[in-house]
Structure 1
Amino acid sequence: MSRPFTVIVAGRDAPLWLAAAALARGLAPSGVQVEAVALPSALASVDAHATFPALEALHNQLRIDETMLLRATGGNLTLGRNFTDLAGAWPAFLHAYGSAGTQIGGRDFFAHWVKARAHGLGVPLDDFSLTAAAARQGRLMLPDAENAIYGRCDYGYHLPAIPYARLLRAAAIGHGATAHAAEQLTVERAGDAIVALDLGAGRRLAADLFVDAGGVLGGAHLSWRAHFPVDRVLTAAGPPFANIPVYAEDRAGPTGWTALHPGRPATFVMHAWSSAHATNEEALRAAGAAAGLPLAGVRIAAVEPGRPARPWTGNCVTLGAVFDPVHGLDLLGLQVGLVQLLADFPATAHFAAERDEYNRAAGAALDRLRDFQSAHYALARYAGPFWDAARAGTVSPDLAHAVALFRARAELAPFEEENLPPDSWRALFLGHGVEPESWPPAIDRVPPEEAKAQFRRMLGFVREQVLRQPTQEAYLAGLADG
C-alpha cells in the first residue's frame, strides 16, 4: 500500500492554524495527511485581528459557527474603517464593507451617481450604501434575504488574537491535522527542495509538500520598502468604549497614523510610523494623544513589507506576505494564498506546472493587495513629514493606470487577480480626492427623470433598512442570551 501524500504546515498562531485547518478540511477527501508544526506564540494580550469580510466565508468552510466564534474570542463585528485627519484639514471618509446602490438601466450604479453629481446631486455615495449608512447611525447591517436583493452588505471582525488562535487550533485538529510543538526548527535541504524539518529532541518530520505560514522556513524576500514609509509599529490596549463602535478608525497625524479597533475586552490600538521622522518615545506620545486613551501593554516592532520572490519554490509554498499595517490585510493575504493553493494542489508528486501557475496567480494577487495599500499613501493629502515621504514612494504601473482610468471616466481597471471588491477601491480613491472627470457614455441612454426616481427609491429603502438594524450592544447581548 502506498503511503499518503503528506503536507507539513509550519508557523505560529492564527496564520498556522488557519492554514492547517483549511488544508486539512479541503484535502481530507483526497487522503492527504496534514501535520502542523507550531513554534512558540508571538502574541500578547494587546494583539487583535481586524479582518476583512472574506474571512467569514472561510470560517463557514471550516464549520466555525459565528456565534461560537464571537463567544469564544470575545470578538465583535466591524462594518469598515473610518479615515480621519487629526489636523482637520481634510474630510473623513469611510471605507465601508458593502456596495452602494443598485444597477440602473443594466449599468453599474456608481457611474450614474458620478453623472448626477456632476449635474448638481448633493447626496454622498455613502447614503446609497446599506453598510455605510448603518455605520454612520451606529448600527450594524446584518445581511438577509431582503437587503441582499439591494446590494452587498458585509462585515469583518475584531478578534482578540490569543483566543482566536486557540479556537483555530481546535478547528485544525478537529479536521484531522496532527499538531507538533517545537521551540525551534532546523530546515534540511537538498537544493531547492526541503527534505525534512528537525524539531529537536530526536524529532524529524518529512513530507511531500511544506507550507510556510509565517516566513519561518526561509526563502528569498521581495522587498516592498520603496512603496511604504512605515518601518515601526506600536501595539497597545486602552479601555473599551462604553458603546462599542461598529467600525475601526484610522487617525492621520504628522509623523504617522493611529488605528483604533474597538473590542469588548479592550480598545486595541496600533500606531504606525517611520523611524526617520520620530523616535520610539515620540511615537508613544503621538499614539496616546491620537487615541485619547491611556495605553497599556505597549509593544514596538520593526516591519519590513514584502512578499516571497517565488511563493512556491521547490516543494515549499510560502503563504501570504508581510503587509504594511494599514487596512489590516495580513489574514486576507494568507487566505488568498490558501485558496490558490487548494486550486493548484498537485495531482502527483511532479508539480512543476502547478507551481508555475501558483507563482503567477499568487504573486499577482499579493501585488494587487500591495497596490491598494500603496494607494493610501501615494494619494493621501495629509500634512507632515511622514506623509510627504509617503507621497514620494514608488507607485506601480498598474496602480498608476488604475488611478488614471478612475479619474478619467469613473471606471476601475480590470485585473484578473483581484481580491477586493470595486467598492473598496472607490472608497479609497474618492476619500483621497480622486474625482472622476466623466463617465461611460452608455449610461446616457437612461432618461434623467428615471435615474432620479431610482435614486429616491434607493434612499428610502436604505433609510428603512437601517432603522430596523440592531446596535452592536444589542446584537452581542442577544448572542450571550442565546
Structure 2
Amino acid sequence: MSGAPTRLVIVGRDAALWLSATVLRRALAQAGVSVVAVELPTELTPASAYASLPPLEALHNKLGLDEAALLRATGGSFSLGQNIVGPSRPFFLAHGSYGAPIDGGGFFPFWLKARQFGLEAAFEDFCLTAMAARQGRMLLPDEETELFGRTDYGYHLPALAYVATLKARASKLGIRVRHSRAIDVERQAESGAIGAIRLDDGTRIEGDLFVDASGAEAVLTDQSVDSWRSAFVTDRRLTARAAPFASVPAYAEIRAGSSGWAALHATQAGTYVTHAFASRDQDDEAAFAAAEALTCLKLSDASISSVEPGIRNQAWTANCVAIGASACVFDPLFDVELHAIQLGIVHLLSLFPVASTVAAERTEYNRITRSAFERVRDFQSAFYAVNRFGSSGFWSAAHNATAPASVAHKIATFRARGDIAPMEDESFAPDLWQALFIGLGEVPESWPPAIDRTPPERMKEDFRRILSFIKRKVLEQPTHDVYLRSLCRSEAA
C-alpha cells in the first residue's frame, strides 16, 4: 500500500458489521475511501435484542437515521435507565444526572450528610430521569431541564429489525455488499498484513485496511486474548422473548435471583429477556425454568450461548482493526455490546490513517480502546463485587471473584468519603457510580469537610427546591406509551 488507505474491507455480521460499514462510509466517502461489506451468517435469533446507552442517539443522527422511523420500523422503545431488583429495596441506574449543585458544590456529599441526619429521600429521588421512568413517563428535554442537569435516554431495539434497518441504510450509501458463509485470509509472510480475503464462491477481495466485525469468532484478528474470567462468574447466557407488556416501561429491569440475574427489555414488539448464570450451578434446562420463574413470563424462542469475557491483546494488528466482540467480549451485564462497537468505530475514525505508515495510529488505537474497555469492565465488575443479593453459590462466587485493582481502588475511595476516583476514558459518569454503590448498600464513612460550611437550612431549602422541580417536570411529560403512539401516528400523517 502506498499513501493513505482507500480500500476498506469490513468482514462481519449483525450490528457490528452494519454500524461499522455505514458510519465509516458516510464519514470517509469524501476522502475517496471505498467500503466493501462482507456479511457472514447472522448469530441473531428472534429473541435477540439490543439495548443501548445514550451515545447511540448521536451516532444515529450522524447516519441520518430518523428516530421516529427507526422505532416504527423496529417496534423498539426508549429506555431511561435500569431498575435493579433484589432482596432489598430496588434502585435505579438512570441515564441522567442525580441532583443539582448546592452552594456551588456537587450534590452527592450534601445528600450523604443529610442522610446521616435523617433525610428520608433516596438518592434517585433527586434524579429527574429516574423519577420520570418510575412514573412511566418519557422525558423530553427543554431549557429548564437542560439547566437542571443531564437527561439522556437509550433504546431497546429488536435486533433482527434493527440490523435490517442498518443494512437498508448501507444500501442507500452505496456500500458494496458480498455474502459468504466463511472466508480464507491471505497474509503477507513477513508483516502479517492481510493482502486479500477469499469468499466461499472463490471471489477474491483485496483491500488496504480490513475491519474484523465478526464477533467473538474474530475471523481476521490475532487470536491471543487476555481473559477476564477471574472477575466474572457468568459463563452461560440464555436469551428468550415473551409477549409485550400492556404498558411498555421506559426502562430495563434487572432481577437478581438465587442462581443469577435476568434482564427484561420491554419493546412495542415484545419483551426480550437475558438470563445470566453459571454452568457449575445449573444446567441449561434448569436455567430456562429459573428464567421463567424470575421473570414471571412465558418464554419462547430460547437459545443459550457461552460467555467468555476477555480482551484481545491488540485490537489493531498490522492492517486489521477489530471492532466490537472481535476486540473485546464483555459480561452480559448492562448490555454494553452496542456501546463497545461504537467506541471502536469512533476511535478508528479519529485515528484513520492519512499515510501508508500506520504505526502511530495503531499504537494509540490499542491504548485508548483497551483503556475504554477496561473502564466498562470495571463498572460491571463493581456490581458483582459489592452485591448483597444473598449467599447463594452464584452471588457468593460473584462477591468473592478477583476484582481488577482499579475496581478495588474505586470501592475503597468511595467507602472512605463517597468520592469516585477519576480515571481516563470512563463511559459511566461519577454520579452513576455513586448510584450503583449506594443502591447496593455501600455507605461512605464520611464526606468532604468543605461542605460543612453550608448552613443546614440552606441544604434543606435546596433539597425542597430540587424535589419540587422534579415533581413538576415529571408531571408535564407524556407517558411513554402515549409518546410511542404519537411516533406511530406520525407515519400515517
Q: TM-score range by the shorter chain?
A: over 0.9
Shift of 1:109: 1.2
What is the aligned partner in structure 2 of residue 164 from structure 1?
162
Runs of 4+ in 1 over 6 A off after TM superposition: 1-4
Shift of 1:200: 2.6
Q: Deviations over 1:54-93 (max 9, x none)?
A: 11111111111100110111101111111112xx3x2211
Is 1:274 the counterpart of 2:281? The answer is no
Query: What is the distance in 2 between the residues matched to 1:50 and 1:218?
Result: 26
Contact residue 5 and residue 355 of structure 2 kept, 8 A:
no
Contact residue 249 and residue 260 of structure 1 kept, 8 A:
yes
Contact residue 4 and residue 33 of structure 1 kept, 8 A:
no
Matches within 5 A, 1:6-85: 6-85=7-86
Contact residue 377 and residue 387 of structure 1 kept, 8 A:
yes
What is the aligned partner in structure 1 of residue 340 from structure 2?
333
What is the aligned partner in structure 2 of residue 103 from structure 1?
101
What is the aligned partner in structure 1 of residue 198 from structure 2?
198
TM-score, normalised via structure 1 length = 0.96
Matches within 5 A, 1:344-355: 344-355=351-362
Shift of 1:48: 0.6
Shift of 1:451: 2.2
Look up the SS of the partner of 1:297 in the other structure: strand
Matches within 5 A, 1:9-408: 9-85=10-86, 88=87, 90-190=88-188, 191-213=191-213, 214=215, 215-219=218-222, 220-320=224-324, 321-383=328-390, 384-408=392-416
Look up the SS of the partner of 1:307 in the other structure: strand
Contact residue 4 and residue 355 of structure 2 kept, 8 A:
no
What are structure 2's unaligned runs of at least 5 residues? none
Contact residue 98 and residue 153 of structure 1 kept, 8 A:
yes
Look up the SS of the partner of 1:259 in the other structure: strand
Q: Deviations over 1:111-141 (max 9, x none)?
A: 2211222222211111111111111112122
The amino acid across from 1:477 in the alignment is: R
Q: Deviations over 1:451-481 (max 9, x none)?
A: 2211111111000000011112101111111
Look up the SS of the partner of 1:370 in the other structure: helix
What is the aligned partner in structure 2 of residue 472 from structure 1?
480
What is the aligned partner in structure 1 of residue 429 from structure 2?
421
Shift of 1:443: 2.5
Shift of 1:49: 0.6
Q: Deviations over 1:22-53 (max 9, x none)?
A: 11122223222222111011211111111111
Query: What is the distance in 2 between the residues matched to 1:317 and 1:54?
Result: 22
What is the aligned partner in structure 1 of residue 461 from structure 2?
453
Q: Measured at CA, do residues 240 and 177 of structure 1 come closer, stay the same or move farther in structure 2, by a change above 3 Å?
A: same
The amino acid across from 2:153 in the alignment is: Y
Shift of 1:104: 1.9
What is the aligned partner in structure 1 of residue 418 from structure 2?
410
Q: Deviations over 1:231-258 (max 9, x none)?
A: 1111111111111111111111111111
Q: Deviations over 1:283-328 (max 9, x none)?
A: 1110111111111111111111112111111111112321111100
Contact residue 102 and residue 110 of structure 2 kept, 8 A:
yes
Query: What is the distance in 2 between the residues matched to 1:280 and 1:200?
Result: 34
Aligned CA RMSD, in angstroms, stands at 1.6
Q: Deviations over 1:348-397 (max 9, x none)?
A: 11010111111111001101111111111111111211111111211111
Q: Measured at CA, do residues 4 and 351 of structure 1 come closer, stay the same or move farther in structure 2, by a change above 3 Å?
A: closer
Q: Measured at CA, do residues 2 and 416 of structure 1 come closer, stay the same or move farther in structure 2, by a change above 3 Å?
A: closer
Contact residue 124 and residue 435 of structure 2 kept, 8 A:
no
Shift of 1:218: 3.3
What are structure 1's unaligned runs of at least 5 residues? none
TM-score, normalised via structure 2 length = 0.94
User: Which moved further from structure 2: 211-220 or 62-71?
Assistant: 211-220
Contact residue 123 and residue 435 of structure 2 kept, 8 A:
no
Contact residue 4 and residue 31 of structure 1 kept, 8 A:
no
